Structure 1
Amino acid sequence: MRNRPRIAVVYMLAASLLLVGMDGLVKWLADDRGYHVTQIAFLRYFVCLFIALGLARMSPQGLGGLHTRRLPGHLWRSVCNLITMLTFYVSLQLIPLPNAVSIGLAAPIFMTMLSIPLLGEKVGPGRWVAVGAGFIGILLIMRPEGDVIEWGSVSALVSAVFWAFTLVSSRQLSSSESTHTILFYYALTVVIVLGIAMFWFWRTPPLEDALLFLAVGIAGTCGQFCLNQAFRYGEVSMLAPLDYTGLVWAMILGALIWGDWPTTYMLAGSGIVIACCLYILRSGKRA
């Protein structure tokens, strides 16, 4: 593993864009086209499995490079990521895309805490303040009202917690495992587990929807690839806040496709979040 923060930042920004684009497609398929989230997740990683195999075959080690001695680590990451994905897809069905993404951006708070005991990283007081301020910005975007619990918001928050575990485990595995190996074992786990569920949830898609499923798989796989590469070259505590940039793309997609225009509170919160990201980038560069 090498410490190359600039390359890590580029990979992280690309991952954020690709994954939010995929989230938009997932919301379209689940909310507008009526597909069950389990089928969406299964087809996404069915495509991912073949891409991972192709990447492995093109690598110097070939398919033999998929051999691993860290199977428990892969299984733990797979379980965390599977819970992350399904709970987030449920939230996409129930609440607007920007809201789901904004709640999911609470993950850096958990990531920063987890990076200390699990990875031994040092987090300076400036980053702590920036991450805390970023969370305040997210609260402004969410702007909870009333006493009624929105299960879509709860589902998104659960997703954020397990997403933090997923990202930290990605950093741990990247110390010895190739990116395509990480993708392969996760995709294989999802295909096996959710493949069983297809006996109840499968619905044969027409060609138009099949192309959308293919786009979901490609965008998700490329996003995961960039994500794993980012944590190969940079620290969790530095990269975590860059997830906030996905909020900008979510706001744009939400407004253009579903008419969910950002409120004044959402714009104010987004400004705080972006300012925190810029600060942490500068502090990470000085470190």
Structure 2
Amino acid sequence: MSRTLQGVLLQLVALALFVAMDALLKVLVASYPVPQLMFLRFVAHTLVVVVALRLITGSVPWRSRAPWLQTLRSATLAVANAALSVALIHVPLADATAVMFAAPVLTVALAALWLGEHVSARRWIGVVIGLLGVFVALRPPFLTGEPLHWAMLLPLVTAVANTAYQLLTRRLATVDDPRTTFVHTSLAACALTGLAQPFVWVTPALSDLPWMLLLGLIGATGHSILVLAFARAPASILAPMSYTQLVWAGLAGVLVFGDWPDGWTLLGAGVIAAGGVLVALPQRRRPRPDDAGERS
């Protein structure tokens, strides 16, 4: 199995875990403040990663060659989760997920501009189509005749933060040991969300504590797998795999919350997926000058 294929499979597993985490989060935000859930999630995340590394590898390599990049990456994760958590209070999971899919197309574009990854003309067309799909999923008033719900803009904030997070993950894969990135994923996020606790804390019910711990466990596992994926494959290849979340989010919305995606969500998701297919198809290998001589 090639390293790129390994990266794609790891990415798919991580994405399924993220949808499960979002569904559990949507249940919990009905009873607890968003900053508290974020703090508990990141604390549990940190503990799970540190204990797992200690037990499996015998060490916790926390020293980074790029500590400020690690801090920025963790902070973008906190922003992405906070924006999505607030959005899930007001809009269905499938709707928020569809709008959030500005992230993969932005990742492809910025991977070319910042990381220098080659992106073909066909993939750029896919990026444009994907963004048009996100625009449809937002339900602009001139299409639907209804005012745009302000909470539908929050998944766009999540998309931008997720784009930065994925690109920083890819960049750090060339700088730090993946285990170091595992450890740093939630450190700055813990500090940021911890500042709000004196103002928002609500004592959790004992019956809810296992679900809060599970939130951190799923997050730790998913983001650790994501780091391994980006260490094996380019960001421009992995980003389109995120479209599989549309399927899982739709199923979770129906099965857990009884929220059926409406026509605008399905249309937007379909356009986004079409753009994703164009981006995900392998690029043709450019012929080398010596190929002709080898065939003669």
Q: 1:110 to 1:152 in 2, by over 3 A?
A: same
Deviation at 1:171, TM superposition (A): 0.3
Name the structure 1 match of 2:40.
43
* Mapped contact 1:107–1:164 kept (Cα < 8 A): yes
The alignment's C-alpha RMSD in Å is: 2.1
- From the two aligned structures, give the one with the greater helix fraction: 1
Query: 3-state DSSP class of the match of 2:238?
Result: helix
1:228 is aligned to 2:227:
yes
Deviation at 1:41, TM superposition (A): 0.5
Amino acid at match of 2:235: V
Give the TM-score, by structure 1 length. 0.90
- Which stretch of structure 1 is more off in the superposition, 70-79 or 149-158? 149-158
Q: 1:208 to 1:113 in 2, by over 3 A?
A: same
Q: 2:93 aligns with which of 65, 82, 97?
A: 97
Within 5 Å, give how 1:68-83 maps onto structure 2. Answer: 68-83=64-79
Deviation at 1:286, TM superposition (A): 6.5
Deviation at 1:102, TM superposition (A): 0.8
Deviation at 1:260, TM superposition (A): 1.3
Deviation at 1:43, TM superposition (A): 0.7
* Mapped contact 1:91–1:155 kept (Cα < 8 A): yes
Within 5 Å, give how 1:240-259 maps onto structure 2. Answer: 240-259=239-258
Counterpart CA distance in 2 for 1:185 and 1:270 is 33
Amino acid at match of 2:109: M
Query: 3-state DSSP class of the match of 1:66?
Result: coil
Counterpart CA distance in 2 for 1:167 and 1:285 is 25
1:159 is aligned to 2:158:
yes
* Mapped contact 1:56–1:181 kept (Cα < 8 A): no
Deviation at 1:101, TM superposition (A): 0.8
Name the structure 2 match of 1:15.
14
Deviation at 1:218, TM superposition (A): 1.1
Q: 2:50 aligns with which of 42, 48, 53?
A: 53
Deviations along 1:246-277, one digit per CA (max 9) or x if unpaired, are 11111111112222112234334434444444
Name the structure 2 match of 1:267.
266
Count of residues in Structure 1 that have an aligned counterpart in Structure 2: 282
Amino acid at match of 1:97: L
Name the structure 1 match of 2:118.
122
Counterpart CA distance in 2 for 1:176 and 1:157 is 29
Amino acid at match of 1:133: I
Amino acid at match of 2:210: L
> Identity across aligned pairs (percent)?
30
Larger radius of gyration: 2
* Mapped contact 1:91–1:100 kept (Cα < 8 A): yes
- Which stretch of structure 1 is more off in the superposition, 143-152 or 170-179? 143-152
Q: 2:134 aligns with which of 138, 142, 158?
A: 138
Q: 1:54 to 1:285 in 2, by over 3 A?
A: farther
Counterpart CA distance in 1 for 2:257 and 2:140 is 21
Deviation at 1:128, TM superposition (A): 1.4
Counterpart CA distance in 2 for 1:80 and 1:70 is 16
Name the structure 1 match of 2:294.
none
Deviation at 1:108, TM superposition (A): 1.8
1:111 is aligned to 2:97:
no
Superposed structure 1 runs of 4+ greater than 6 Å apart: none
